[in-house]
């Protein structure tokens, strides 16, 4: 007698039902089994409150039913929401999620990928910033927001369309002279297309525009200086600003206040991401909303898809504009 308070196993069920081990396995896996046997096994399962041990299952099948999510953190609202929806999508498919927060650290990203390669997870979903990330082709990988080569599917929102939409909205709302402000990784990634989309939108609407692009190391103060330089007579030469993220829009909004400018009366502001106060309340600002639930579903779907041929290199999901108080009219 070794089993004390540990969970019941198939063997226990078999003994309880008076059948062979293999029969229990078949019932559990839905394989054909005689009706009378099936009933007895099912009764025994209920009686013992049996559940399969998916780790033993995984050992046999060389599957872990676990996928790793590589993400910088979970306190940034965008990452937090992505984490939530990916987790839901995985649980729905009986998969577990191993959360790997990388804090933007290139080396940690690589370590997690390597770890994952060693039979510890069945796949990886990664929002990463290491341009030299080595990912062997043996482990399925889906990237978010950054293309990592033709063999690895990338899921993103339609950043180009989002930028364009921002320009069109500002134009519709009466802006004549706008600016695009961006800070972030200098890496080639999908969100960079927001700039191109915005330019495109401005050109097609005949909107005159300026850009200020900062990289990760740069100081935020450069934006303050940029804005100050574009003041004359206490007025800003821009009547509309498109910020690359809602986070930046928040900072810019504070800076504008310091400059005695009113939002949206003096200058209208559009952000990107669709972040809400406390995760589910109002939008922080007027914004281009990323379809996070759909992106999460798509990531999981692509990762778990059997047919490896049907994996498109890039999937862009549609964005939408939402009013959030920093533009005119609701």
What is the contact surface with DNA in residues (CB under 7 A)? Answer: 2-3, 6, 9-11, 19-23, 25-26, 28-29, 32-34, 36-37, 51-53, 56-57, 59-62
C-beta of 25 vs 185, nearer to DNA: 25
What are the residues facing 294 on neighbouring strands? none
Q: Which of 28, 38, 42, 84: binder of a copy of itself (CB under 8 A)?
A: 84
C-beta of 93 vs 176, nearer to DNA: 93
Residues, the chain: 330
End-to-end alpha-carbon separation of the chain, Å? 71
Report which of 187, 137, 197 is spatially closest to residue 161, judged by C-alpha positions. Answer: 197
Answer with the entry of DNA, a copy of itself, none that 186 interacts with (C-beta below 5 to 8 A by kind): none
- Name the helix (H) or strand (E) containing 322: strand 320-322
C-beta of 10 vs 161, nearer to a copy of itself: 10
Q: Which of 26, 77, 146, 154: binder of a copy of itself (CB under 8 A)?
A: 77
Instruction: Work out whether 278 is an interface residue with a copy of itself (CB under 8 A).
Output: yes
What are the residues facing 287 on neighbouring strands? 271, 322
Q: Which of 53, 186, 204, 228: binder of a copy of itself (CB under 8 A)?
A: 53
C-beta of 36 vs 107, nearer to DNA: 36
Q: Which of 70, 247, 295, 315: binder of a copy of itself (CB under 8 A)?
A: 247
Quote the CA–CA distance of 100 and 155 in Å, as a whole number.
19
Quote the CA–CA distance of 141 and 302 in Å, as a whole number.
9
Alpha-carbon distances of 151 from 136, 202, 234, rounded to whole Å: 11, 34, 53
Answer with the entry of a copy of itself, DNA, none that 21 interacts with (C-beta below 5 to 8 A by kind): DNA
Quote the CA–CA distance of 81 and 284 in Å, as a whole number.
15
Instruction: Work out whether 25 is an interface residue with a copy of itself (CB under 8 A).
Output: no
């Amino acid at each position: 007698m070794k089993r004390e308070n540990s969970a019941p196993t198939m063997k226990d069920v078999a003994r309880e039902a008076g059948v062979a081990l293999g029969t229990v396995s078949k019932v559990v896996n839905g394989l054909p089994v005689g009706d009378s046997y099936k009933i007895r096994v099912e009764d025994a399962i209920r009686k013992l409150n049996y559940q399969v041990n998916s780790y033993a299952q995984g050992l046999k099948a060389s599957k872990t039913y676990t996928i790793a999510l590589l993400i910088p953190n979970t306190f940034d609202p965008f990452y937090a929401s992505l984490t939530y929806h990916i987790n839901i999508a995985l649980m729905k498919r009986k998969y577990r999620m191993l959360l790997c927060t990388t804090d933007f650290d290139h080396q940690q990203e690589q370590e997690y990928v390597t770890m994952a390669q060693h039979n510890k997870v069945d796949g990886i979903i990664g929002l990463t910033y290491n341009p030299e990330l080595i990912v062997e082709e043996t482990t399925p990988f889906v990237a978010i927001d950054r293309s990592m080569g033709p063999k690895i599917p990338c899921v993103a929102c339609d950043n180009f369309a989002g930028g364009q939409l921002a320009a069109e909205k500002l134009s519709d709302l009466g802006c004549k002279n706008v600016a695009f402000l961006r800070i972030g990784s200098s890496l080639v990634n999908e969100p960079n297309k927001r700039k191109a989309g915005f330019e495109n939108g401005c050109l097609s609407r005949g909107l005159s525009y300026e850009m200020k692009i900062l990289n990760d190391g740069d100081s935020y103060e450069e934006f303050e200086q940029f804005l100050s330089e574009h003041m004359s007579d206490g007025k800003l030469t821009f009547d509309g600003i498109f910020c690359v993220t809602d986070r930046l829009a928040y900072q810019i909004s504070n800076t504008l206040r310091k400059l005695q400018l009113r939002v949206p009366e003096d200058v209208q502001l559009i952000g990107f991401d669709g972040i809400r106060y406390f995760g589910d309340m109002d939008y922080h600002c007027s914004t281009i909303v990323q379809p996070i639930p759909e992106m999460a579903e798509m990531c999981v779907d692509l990762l778990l898809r059997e047919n490896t041929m049907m994996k498109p290199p890039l999937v862009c999901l549609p964005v939408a504009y939402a009013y959030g108080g920093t533009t005119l009219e609701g």
